[in-house]
């Protein structure tokens, strides 16, 4: 059986839409190119000491930027601007959105939001990291300058989202609203091949992913759910779940997508709105989760229905196997006031 490249897969998928003009395919190709560049740098991080460590700068969230954060951010923005198929980019690493002002870009109908290097603090210890992207159709008039309203759209308006995981192998996983497919990079020839077609997450799992070091700061319903995960009940034929937390959203999500599980980053007394960004992390992952038969909420309501109010808005995040997210929701429902974060 012939191996299908990501380029061939995109082209074949495009043929299923007679009115398609190819812009979305070009966006995905730009993301694919940037991911190869970033993957190459990550793979030599242990040898090229000049790309490791802190840059000495902070992003708008007050988080220390790693040198590879900046490299990845520049790589994705440069790759996306070169094709002339998007009018702007918003990045977790930039204070505001980046506007592409050429005539070609102003005529483009898409915007892209990115977390260029998720989990970058793990680079120095050779733990899996990733990149996350999200694509929307602009709401402003074609030919005009891009507007912040183009980016402040609920996740249910995404036309594509995905991530690249840089681990034991480099994988691209994405959706355009027609299921989720995964592609593994062959570095010997520089090509992504379809390796995980029609990905589906199990309805149930036995893995929970949460930073238990913050347990004392979590609100009662979250703490109670974690105790439930840790417990066994012979009558209900439930065994204790396994705790698996990498500290890289992409890596934790990817494992749970394949094996089944739940990822939680809730509100807490030290993070009253949660930590993860709605636009750069939660929306794209929620879109993938739902397309793969999973579920994503803020503990109370669907992530994709939240109307964003600012570019770097944070929200709590419960994501993974449907039945596990629903069970966590049962605990949260006992404390409805906690939904007002």
- Please state the pTM of the whole predicted model: 0.94
Could you tell me if 186 and 214 lie in one domain?
Answer: no
DSSP annotation string for 142-193: TTSPP-GGGT---GGGEEEEEEEEESSSEEEEEESSS-EEEEEEETTTTEEE
Could you tell me if 321 and 248 lie in one domain?
Answer: yes
Could you tell me if 122 and 232 lie in one domain?
Answer: no
DSSP annotation string for 22-48: SHHHHHHHHHHHHHHHHHHHHHTTTT-
Q: Is 98 helix (H, G, I), strand (E, B) or coil?
A: strand
Instruction: Answer whether residue 202 is part of any domain.
Output: no
Q: What is the CATH number of the domain that holds 143?
A: 3.30.540.10
Alpha-carbon span 303 to 176, nearest angstrom: 18
Structure tokens at 151: 């980016």
pLDDT of residue 274: 96
Could you tell me if 221 and 314 lie in one domain?
Answer: yes
Instruction: Spell out the long-range contacts of 290-294 with Cβ–Cβ below 8 A and sequence spacing 24 or more.
Output: 291/175, 291/177, 291/178, 291/179, 291/180, 292/175, 292/179, 292/180, 292/199, 292/200, 292/201, 292/257, 293/200, 293/201, 293/203, 293/322, 294/201, 294/257, 294/319, 294/320, 294/321, 294/322, 294/325
Q: Is 203 helix (H, G, I), strand (E, B) or coil?
A: coil
pLDDT of residue 237: 65
304's CB contacts (< 8 A; 6+ apart) are 154, 155, 156, 158, 283, 286, 287, 290, 296
104's CB contacts (< 8 A; 6+ apart) are 84
DSSP annotation string for 284-331: HHHHHHHHTTEEEESSSSBGGG----STT-B--EEEEEHHHHHHHHHH
> Which structural domain, as residue segments, surrounds residue 334?
207-339
Instruction: Spell out the long-range contacts of 230-239 with Cβ–Cβ below 8 A and sequence spacing 24 or more.
Output: 239/206
List average pLDDT for each run of 10 residues in the chain, which is 341 residues long: 88 71 90 95 71 64 79 96 93 94 83 95 86 97 93 98 96 97 96 97 97 96 96 77 96 98 97 97 98 98 98 98 98 90 83
Instruction: Using the structure block, give the residue that is written with the tokens 């989720």.
Output: 180
Q: For strand 170-175 and strand 158-166, is the pairing parallel, antiparallel, or unpaired?
A: antiparallel
Backbone angles phi, psi at 66, to 5 degrees: -80, 155
Could you tell me if 232 and 120 lie in one domain?
Answer: no
pLDDT of residue 51: 61
Alpha-carbon span 196 to 250, nearest angstrom: 16
Could you tell me if 272 and 187 lie in one domain?
Answer: no
Could you tell me if 33 and 154 lie in one domain?
Answer: yes
Q: What is the CATH number of the domain that holds 249?
A: 3.40.190.80
Q: What is the average pLDDT value for the chain, to the nearest integer?
A: 91
Q: For strand 98-99 and strand 86-91, is the pairing parallel, antiparallel, or unpaired?
A: antiparallel
Number of domains in the chain: 2
Could you tell me if 212 and 141 lie in one domain?
Answer: no
CA atoms in the 13 A half-sphere facing the CB of 52: 12
Instruction: Answer whether residue 1 is part of any domain.
Output: no
Check: CB of residue 115 under 8 Å from CB of residue 30.
Answer: no
pLDDT of residue 46: 61
Could you tell me if 214 and 186 lie in one domain?
Answer: no
Q: For strand 191-196 and strand 129-137, is the pairing parallel, antiparallel, or unpaired?
A: unpaired
pLDDT of residue 204: 96
Task: Tell me which of 196, 231, 251 is where a domain ends.
Answer: 196
pLDDT of residue 213: 95
């Amino acid at each position: 059986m012939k191996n299908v490249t990501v380029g061939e897969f995109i082209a074949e998928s495009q043929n299923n839409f007679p009115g398609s003009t190819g812009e979305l395919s070009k966006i995905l190709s730009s993301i694919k190119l940037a991911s190869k560049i970033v993957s190459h740098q990550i793979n030599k991080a242990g040898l090229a000491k000049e790309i490791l460590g802190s840059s000495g700068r902070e992003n708008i969230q007050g988080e220390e930027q790693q040198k590879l954060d900046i490299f990845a951010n520049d790589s994705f923005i440069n790759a996306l601007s070169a094709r002339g198929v998007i009018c702007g980019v918003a990045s977790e690493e930039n204070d505001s959105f980046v506007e592409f002002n050429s005539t070609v870009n102003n005529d483009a109908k898409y915007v892209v939001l990115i977390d260029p290097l998720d989990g970058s603090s793990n680079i120095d210890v050779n733990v899996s990291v990733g990149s996350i992207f999200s694509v929307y159709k602009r709401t402003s008039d074609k030919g005009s300058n891009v507007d912040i309203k183009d980016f402040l759209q609920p996740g249910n308006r995404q036309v594509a989202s995905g991530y690249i995981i840089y681990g034991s192998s480099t994988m691209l996983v994405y959706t355009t609203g027609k299921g989720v497919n995964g592609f593994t990079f062959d570095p010997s020839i520089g090509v992504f091949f379809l390796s995980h077609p029609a990905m589906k997450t199990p309805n149930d799992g036995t893995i929970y992913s949460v930073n238990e070091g913050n347990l004392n700061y979590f609100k009662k319903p979250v703490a109670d759910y974690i105790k439930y995960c840790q417990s066994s009940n012979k009558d209900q034929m439930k065994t204790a779940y396994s705790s698996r937390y990498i500290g890289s959203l992409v890596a934790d999500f990817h494992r749970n997508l394949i094996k089944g599980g739940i990822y939680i980053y809730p509100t807490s007394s030290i993070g009253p709105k949660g930590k993860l960004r709605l636009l750069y992390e939660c929306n794209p992952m929620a879109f993938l989760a739902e397309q793969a038969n999973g579920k994503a909420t803020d503990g109370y309501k669907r992530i994709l229905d939240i109307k964003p109010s600012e570019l770097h808005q944070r929200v709590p995040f419960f994501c993974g196997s449907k039945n596990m997210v629903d069970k966590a929701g049962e605990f949260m429902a006992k404390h409805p006031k906690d939904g007002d974060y």
